[in-house]
Amino acid sequence: MTGTTVQVRRDSSTNWATFNPIAADGELCFDKTNGEVKIGDGVNTFSALPVVANVGSRAWIQQLRKSGVKFNVNVDQSAAYQAAIDAYTVQGKRKLMEYPIAADGSTLSIRIDSPITKRLTCLSIRWNGLKLDASHATNPSADQSLPYPMLKFIGQTVPPYNIESMLNECDSFLLEGSYTEGLNVDGLQLGDSATTVGHSKLQKIKSEGFRDGWIFGDNTYITEADTCFINKNWRRGYSCDGSVNAGERLLIIGGSIADNKNSSGDAVGLYMPAGTNMEVLWDGPTCSYTDIPIRQEGGTVKAATHFENGNTQPFAIISTTSGYAPTVINYDGGSISHGALGTVTEPSSGRDCLIYVSGNDRTVVTVNGINYSGYGRYATRFVKLAPGCNAQVSITNVNHNPQGGAVGRICDESSDVHNGDFGTGTLEGFSQDPAAGVTMNVIAAVAPPEDGSAFMFRYNSTGTNSAALSQTVDVKARTKMRARVWLRVNSRTAGSFGLQVTWFSRNGTQIGNPTTNGLPPLTSAVGWTLLGNDLVAPKGAKTAEVSIYGAGFQGDANAYNFAVWERL
Q: What is the pLDDT of residues 33-47, one digit of tens each?
A: 666 789 999 999 999
Q: Average the pLDDT over 83-104 and give the result.
A: 74
CATH number of 55-137+146-309: 2.160.20.10
To the nearest whole percent, how much of the chain has pLDDT over 90? Answer: 39
> For residue 131, what is the DSSP state?
E
Q: What is the pLDDT of residues 320-350, one digit of tens each?
A: 766 556 778 887 766 666 544 333 333 333 3
Contacts of 4 (CB under 8 A, 6+ apart): none
Q: Average the pLDDT over 365-381 and give the result.
A: 60
* 357 band by pLDDT with thresholds 50, 70 and 90: confident
Q: Are 293 and 315 in contact (CB under 8 A)?
A: yes
Q: What confidence score (pLDDT) does residue 93 get? A: 60
Q: Does the pLDDT at position 413 exceed 80?
A: no
Q: Average the pLDDT over 55-72 and give the result.
A: 82
Q: Does the pLDDT at position 392 exceed 80?
A: no
Domain boundaries, the chain: 9-48, 55-137+146-309, 431-567
Handedness of CA 344, 346, 351, 354 (dihedral sign): negative
Q: How far apart are CA 273 and CA 256, in angstroms?
A: 21
**Strands laid side by side in the 316-320 sheet:** 116-119, 149-154, 186-190, 212-216, 236-240, 268-272, 292-296, 316-320, 353-359, 381-385
Options 2.40.50.140, 2.60.120.260, 3.40.30.10, 3.10.20.30; CATH for 431-567 is 2.60.120.260
Name the nearest CA neighbour of 114 among 146, 84, 77: 77
**Strands laid side by side in the 9-11 sheet:** 9-11, 28-31, 36-39, 53-54
Q: Average the pLDDT over 279-283 and give the result.
A: 87
Do domains 55-137+146-309 and 431-567 share one topology? The answer is no
Within its chain, how far is the Cα of 224 from the centroid?
15
Q: What confidence score (pLDDT) does residue 4 get? A: 79
Q: Does the pLDDT at position 505 exceed 80?
A: yes
Q: What confidence score (pLDDT) does residue 247 get? A: 64
Where is pLDDT greater, at 206 or 402? 206
User: What string of DSSP letters covers 469-488?
Assistant: EEEEEE--TTSEEEEEEEEE
Q: What confidence score (pLDDT) does residue 340 get? A: 41
- Beta bridge pairs of residue 502: 545
Task: Find the range with the poorest average confidence among 113-127, 222-236, 261-275.
Answer: 113-127
Q: What is the pLDDT of residues 450-502, one digit of tens each?
A: 766 789 999 999 999 999 999 998 888 887 787 888 899 999 999 999 999 99
At residue 20, the 3 state secondary structure works out as: coil
Q: Does the pLDDT at position 98 exceed 70?
A: yes
What pTM was estimated for this model as a whole?
0.67
Where is pLDDT greater, at 449 or 77? 77
